[in-house]
Amino acid sequence: MIETDVLSHEITARLAQQREAWRELAKPELTQFDRREIRNRIRQGEIELRDFLKIRTERLRFWPRVAEPPVDSLANINFRLF
């Protein structure tokens, strides 16, 4: 896989982990310690996700653009003789 595919896969995996942690946090049978650990895991996952999203934003911002040939404005003039 190329780097953007790996990065997209990592972002998707982090989002899935976040969803699962929130679902787990909603369980009523958890102890206070378990809830605290899950919240810590959510916070850490948010930091990692933010870092991956920042990397993707930077890569997309500096994505190489296809250079367009300069348009010659004089070449497009249609002369008519009256």
**What is the per-residue pLDDT for 2?**
58
Which one has a higher pLDDT value, 74 or 7? 7
Evaluate if pTM is beyond 0.75: no
Give me the chain's average pLDDT, please.
84
pLDDT-based confidence at residue 69 (cuts at 50, 70, 90): low
Cα 41 to Cα 35: distance, rounded to the nearest angstrom: 10
Which residue, among 63, 26, 57, 59, has the nearest Cα to 42 in the 3D structure? 26
